[in-house]
Amino acid sequence: MQSKIDLKKFADRLINFPEIGTLTEPDAIEVRQVPMQTAHEEFAPEAPTQILRLTQCYTCFLLLKH
């Protein structure tokens, strides 16, 4: 009987996914700007707008290596 309860707890963890939202636009730009500034590189003037449009502020896309 104990093993059925353990399996249910395990299955519940597989099914319940926390929602991961998006960053605010200023935070999304900062996520890309800080590493570039550290590398002494600069964005083209249109880059921040394009980044927001393409990534929709999702962190997983913002952190892709350029």
Number of other CB atoms surrounding residue 25 within 10 Å: 13
Residue 12 maps to a domain: no
Residue 48 maps to a domain: yes
pLDDT tens digits for range 19-56: 778 999 999 888 888 888 888 888 888 888 898 898 89
**Confidence bin at 5 (pLDDT 50/70/90):** low
Element (H, E) at 7: helix 2-15
How many domains in the chain?
Answer: 1
Residue 4 maps to a domain: no
Q: pTM of the entire structure?
A: 0.57
Structural domain boundaries, residue 59: 21-66
Residue 1 maps to a domain: no
- Non-local (6+) Cβ contacts of 58 within 8 A are 22, 23
Residue 20 one-letter amino acid:
I
The C-alpha atoms of residue 32 and residue 65 are separated, in whole angstroms, by 10
Residue 7 maps to a domain: no
